[in-house]
């Protein structure tokens, strides 16, 4: 909490349900308008029933606002077959304000610690976000991610 930003009380139960009950495939969070809390971005949530969660995730990324995202990524490995893993994504696009990027960066580790997540992917533009091979690199041994072949057999 070095930035002074706290995690809203609604986030831990939402994350718990996402992790254990699989209620969401992707959850978006943002800094509140008053700059004091990290809150759930209610308009940007992806249900497990979404046919293309990765495509929906890409479409939901704002062009000039920072977001924290937790993605319950489905992937396949040669060693252990199909798996899922929670991936923490820090979205800080180049077109967001310097102040927003600074608050976002200084609050990121606090949110990750609150959620107990280590696996992180930092994104700064659409080219980064659309690089699914990079997402796969964050998931040890991934050969496919969200049904997309990484071409690394």
The pLDDT score that the predictor gives to residue 94 is: 93
What does DSSP assign to residue 18? I
- CA quadruple 126, 127, 133, 135: dihedral sign: negative
pLDDT in tens, the chain (153 residues): 456 899 999 999 999 999 999 999 999 999 999 999 999 999 999 999 999 999 999 999 999 999 999 999 999 988 878 889 999 999 999 999 999 999 999 999 999 999 999 889 999 999 999 998 899 888 888 898 998 888 654
Rounded to two decimals, what is the model's pTM? 0.92
Has residue 113 been placed in a domain? yes
User: Which candidate, 63, 148, 79, 28, places its Cα nearest to that of 135?
Assistant: 148
**Domain that includes residue 18, residue range:** 6-71+87-137
Q: Is residue 146 part of a domain?
A: no
Total number of domains in the chain: 1
Distance of CA 84 to the CA centre of its chain: 14
Residues near 15 by beta carbon (within 8 Å), at least 6 away in sequence: 27, 70, 115
What is the CB neighbour count within 10 angstroms for residue 135? 25
Q: Which of 47, 42, 46 is nearest to 57 (CA)?
A: 46
CATH code of 98's domain? 3.40.20.10
Residue 139: what pLDDT? Answer: 87
């Amino acid at each position: 909490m070095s930035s002074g930003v706290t995690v809203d009380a609604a986030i831990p139960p939402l994350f718990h349900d996402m992790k254990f009950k699989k209620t969401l495939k992707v959850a978006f969070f943002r800094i509140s308008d008053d700059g004091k809390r990290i809150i759930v971005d209610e308009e940007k949530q992806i249900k497990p029933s979404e046919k293309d969660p990765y495509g929906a995730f890409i479409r939901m990324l704002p062009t000039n606002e920072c977001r924290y995202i937790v993605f319950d990524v489905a992937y396949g490995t040669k060693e252990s077959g199909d798996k899922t893993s929670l991936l923490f994504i820090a979205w800080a696009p180049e077109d967001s304000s310097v102040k927003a990027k600074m608050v976002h960066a200084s609050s990121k580790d606090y949110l990750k610690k609150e959620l107990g997540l280590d696996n992180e992917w930092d994104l700064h533009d659409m080219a980064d976000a659309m690089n699914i091979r990079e997402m796969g690199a964050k998931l040890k041994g991934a050969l496919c991610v969200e049904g997309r072949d990484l071409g690394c057999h």
